[in-house]
Chain A
Amino acid sequence: MPPETSALDTQRHGAALRWGFRLFLGIQLIPFIVLFTLRYELDGYYVAPTVNQWLGVAENILMLASLVTVWQGLTAIRENDRETMQRRLKWTSALGALYLALLIYDWSQRVVPVGTRFGGMFYTTIGVSAFYTAAGLFVLVATVVRTGRVVTDAQNHWDVEAAAWYWVFQGAIAVLMNLYLHWI
């Protein structure tokens, strides 16, 4: 196979991976549309007055900060700076873990009874979002380990890109769901 055809194949394969991954993220919105619809059917826009709204804000600040660091990591590898990328991904993992810890604390307060209509949707929606966050943490840790072992540079960093896109996706969902269930 001529070298230029091979390069074209690689480029097209990369585009297919990116497109397919975005399609995957797109369909992952559907479970949240189900949750959103069911909550509207059960509660409308009611938010229980006992919910700790400022804890929700603190959770969102942590998540937003992690979105900044993960994007810095992706930008760094695009500029061929592997060490900065790894450092930023480690920061993202730490912020993500802190976010989950705060969420668990939020839950442990039991400010809303589980069996109520709002309570059911509160714990379920945030729980599903937290599952996506936990999966994202696993992917981030795997990416940090992986990029220490395989060639990762400005040309070869699909793994970092996928981890970053996933983290941004779950982060946006988490921020919206926290706002939706703590404030709106």
Chain B
Amino acid sequence: MAHQVLASPSMKVRVMPPMLRGFLWAGIAFLLTNSLVASIRPDVGHPFVNEVSITIGWVAALTGWLLGVGAYEGVVLPLFGVTPRIGQATDWRRYFAFATDHKVVGIQYLASSAAAFILAGSIAMAMRIELASPTIYFFHYSDQYLAAVGVHGTIMMFAVATVALVGGMGNYMVPLMIGAKNTVFPRLSGLGHWLIPAGVLTVAMSPLLGYWTTGWRGYEPLGSQDPSGIIFYYLGVAAMALSSTIVSLNMVTTIVFNRAPGLTWPRLPMYVWGVLTVSILNLIWLPEIQMTFILELLDRLVPLNLFNAAGQPLAELELFWLFGHPEVYIIVVPGFALWNEIIPVMAQKSLFGRSWAVIGLIFVMMLSGMVWAHHMFTNMRNSEILPFAFFTEMISIPTGFGYMAAIGTLWQSRYRLTTPGLLVLMSMFNFLLGGISGVYLADPPVNLQVHDTMFIVAHFHYTIIGGMIFTWIAATYYWLPKISGRLYSEFWGKFLSIWIFIAFNTAFSTMFLVGLEGMNRWVPAYPPYLHPLNLVISLAAWALGTGFVLHAVHIVWAWRKGPPAPDNPWNGRTLEWLTSSPPPPNNFAEVPIIDESFYVYGDAVKPAARNWDRLKPS
């Protein structure tokens, strides 16, 4: 199993594959620590595993995992001033170990997010198998179904929606787009990625400890009464949230300090603005939710009385949604930015109202912290509801700025309906429906009427799948020639995009209807009159899942076997298109010097970088 890694020009050292070593060290650390703690504090009936021992054992396992995948040589030894004997792999193996190149880290995040998407998506397929019939037949107990809902939601939110466009595309593209060689904290960034697989596996394994029923929200006092599986929910989320915090810290610092000369704030690419604003949101709200979940964990383990009837259950709901609603914008803000990144390129037309599009991103970021209580209208007095209803409706205005810039750019343009161009338009349509249903939900009478029905589920899937997942796929096709140096098939790209668009809208527009017909969330069984609509949703959902898998197959095929791509297939003006595909280790042959905007098109326009002809390595 061992492979050779270059340590110095004159020596090769045989080492165990890092991921295998990570698993081994994690297993040993868990067994030793769990056994030690369990022997100190044996619980009746569970002499080997108890809630305290498994928590401390998990911390040890996570440490062993991180050290094993390469943090030992990459972080710990340098911290103590020791030069490691082995360096980083330079071939394909570098994607399976601790890495410091932002492009490798970006691909690692993208691969982990895609794997998490397929895993959590498979769970959604199982949920739709269950809901294809009015009675329970696929899951054995209702708690099993609820645990499946929780695992699906948690992995989708913390390992896919929060990660793919920031940790994945952000890590890969932002340094290229600002003309930087690397990020400011490459070691921290390399470490951060490996928290995602650890967090996903933790949450995926949580049902082994008991079927928890709170969904991705961890509501109290329900959580403290749940089986022990919820412990792995808290711990898994802690790992994944820490990963996104690290990404955001690295991105903000890199954007502030590593911009090329002449790349002033008004010239900053739209996508970089999106990553910057969403990173600020992450830095504020992820530490908040981590502390909340640590308190919930302690509430259960010690036990304390913070969030039960002797404490304040409502405080947990408030603390959760203080993070929970900004989280929605953490997910879609990079999507908004990408629309206005891709549309001017596909239209070959100057971006309309660029400043307003940036102002929109910033105001969405600021307002997102003032709308959280609209998730709790059923727990509030009327006088408290109205300000939150007002701000929730207000947030549609800066969101509209992004639409205004996109539509103004499309207006009278000769838009190239390529696969990414098509997917961006689809995403805008989907998010429009999700957003408008959100404005509708901001009205208290409607909100109270449809609270906890499938109408809500349809609404947020329209915003998240419609706004973020479609844009993620668009961005993958848009930058695939840059990342892989190869082109995809336009036929299959468009065919599969139309496939998922039809399947998605069939599934979730029907879900609006089934919600209005009175179907609750969080139930594996329902009255027979809801069966026909649910069957339609299930069939469309399976078609959607198949469409996503086929997109993944097509992208992997193009990555490996697609025809070679030119360096700048879309005639884009941002800096990443001025270097080779894929980019070399330090990105550019020399530091770019920026003179012009990236979003101005026309016959007399010069390249944005003064030294554009010297940026590509010879």
Contact = CB atoms under 8 A, between A and B. Distances in A.
A19 B257 CA distance: 9
A86 to B, nearest CB: 12
A16 B258 contact: yes
A7 interface: no
Nearest to A12: B257
Given A17-B184, A24-B249, A149 B306 contact: no
Interface of B: 79-82, 184-185, 245, 249-250, 252-254, 256-258, 283-284, 287-288, 290-292, 294-295, 298-299, 302-306, 310-312, 315, 319
* Interface SS majority for chain B: helix
B399 to A, nearest CB: 26
A41 B322 CA distance: 15
B249 A20 contact: yes
Interface string A102-116: 000000000000111
A27 B304 contact: no
Contact of A145 (B81, B253, B292, B306): B81
Interface of A is mostly: helix
A31 B287 contact: yes
**Which 8 A-B residue pairs are closest in the complex by CB-CB distance?**
A149-B81, A20-B253, A16-B257, A31-B291, A146-B81, A120-B304, A30-B287, A34-B291
Contacts of A27: 245, 249, 283-284, 287
A124 interface: yes
Most chain B Cβ neighbours within 10 Å, of A34, A116, A142: A34
B178 to A, nearest CB: 13
A145 B303 CA distance: 39
Contact of B287 (A15, A28, A123): A28
Nearest to B246: A24
Contacts of B257: 12-13, 15-16, 19-20
Nearest to B252: A23
Interface residues of A, number: 37
A134 interface: no
Contact of B298 (A124, A147, A149): A124
B147 to A, nearest CB: 27
Contacts of B283: 23, 27
A42 interface: yes
Nearest to B319: A34
Interface in A148-184: 148-150
Contact of B82 (A38, A41, A119, A149): A149
A117 B311 CA distance: 7
A35 interface: yes
A28 to B, nearest CB: 7
Given A27-B287, A120-B302, 19 more contacts: A15-B257, A16-B257, A20-B184, A23-B253, A27-B245, A30-B284, A31-B291, A31-B294, A34-B288, A38-B295, A42-B315, A115-B310, A117-B305, A120-B304, A120-B305, A123-B302, A128-B294, A146-B79, A148-B81
Nearest to B181: A9
Given A20-B184, A114-B304, A146 B80 contact: yes
A160 to B, nearest CB: 12
Nearest to B82: A149
Contact of B249 (A23, A119, A127, A145): A23
Nearest to A119: B304
Nearest to A146: B81
9 contacts: A16-B258, A23-B252, A30-B284, A31-B291, A38-B306, A120-B306, A145-B80, A146-B80, A149-B81
A114 B361 CA distance: 45
B184 A120 contact: no
B184 A42 contact: no
